[in-house]
Amino acid sequence: MSYEVKLRDRIARVEILSQQGDKLLVTVDGKEYALDFVEISKGSYSILHRNKSYNVELIPVNGIKKYHVNTLKHSFDVEIIDAEAKYLASRQQGQEDEDEAIISSPIPGKIVRLFIQEGDKVEAGQTLVVIAAMKMESEFKAPKDGVVRTVNATEGQNVEARQELIVLDFD
């Protein structure tokens, strides 16, 4: 099975060559990797490569096969581009409401820090809220310049998966 994975400005070609139990053989842009790959809990994985252990948390983001990825030292967004994602994207073209954005909690967690209030102006990339889940903290940022229409969360509040936290209006 073959995928394209978009990470920042780079698109990598990832191919799963074989899988036997927890053993996974993949190539990334033609370079081969033998991995031990174990799902610890929903969305949380342990990967062993050349006797080094990596813990990875995948948090679904609004969109087609988009994820916020947390590791011990890094956080980044990735998008998986496969045939299904290309088909779904073509079906949704023109259907998105570009006048607003809804920031939702992708998984159950706790609001650690809330940086905005209703009526605040925000800039693209500005951190709006930090959510703790599975012993990791994730920052959620404004996708573009706008104004906070509603805030449906408070610091210290426990939230459910897909719970609407913040609604932004764009200029």
Tally of helices (H runs) and strands (E runs) in the chain: 1, 16
Q: DSSP letter at 131?
A: E
Q: In this structure, are residues 37 and 47 in contact, taking their beta carbons and an 8 Å threshold?
A: yes
User: Would you identify the CATH topology of the domain 2-91?
Assistant: Glycoprotein, Type 4 Pilin (3.30.700)
**For the chain, what is the radius of gyration of the CA atoms?**
18
pLDDT, tens digit, 9 for 90 and up, residues 16-39: 999 999 999 999 999 999 999 999
| Residue 95 predicted with pLDDT over 50 | no
pLDDT, tens digit, 9 for 90 and up, residues 41-69: 888 999 999 999 999 998 888 666 888 88
Q: DSSP letter at 85?
A: H
Question: Does domain 97-170 match CATH 2.40.30.10?
Answer: no
Q: How far apart are CA 129 and CA 91, in angstroms?
A: 31
**Rounded mean pLDDT of 81-104?**
62
Q: How far apart are CA 29 and CA 33, in angstroms?
A: 11
Q: Where are the domains of the chain?
A: 2-91, 97-170
Instruction: Write down the pLDDT at residue 141.
Output: 87
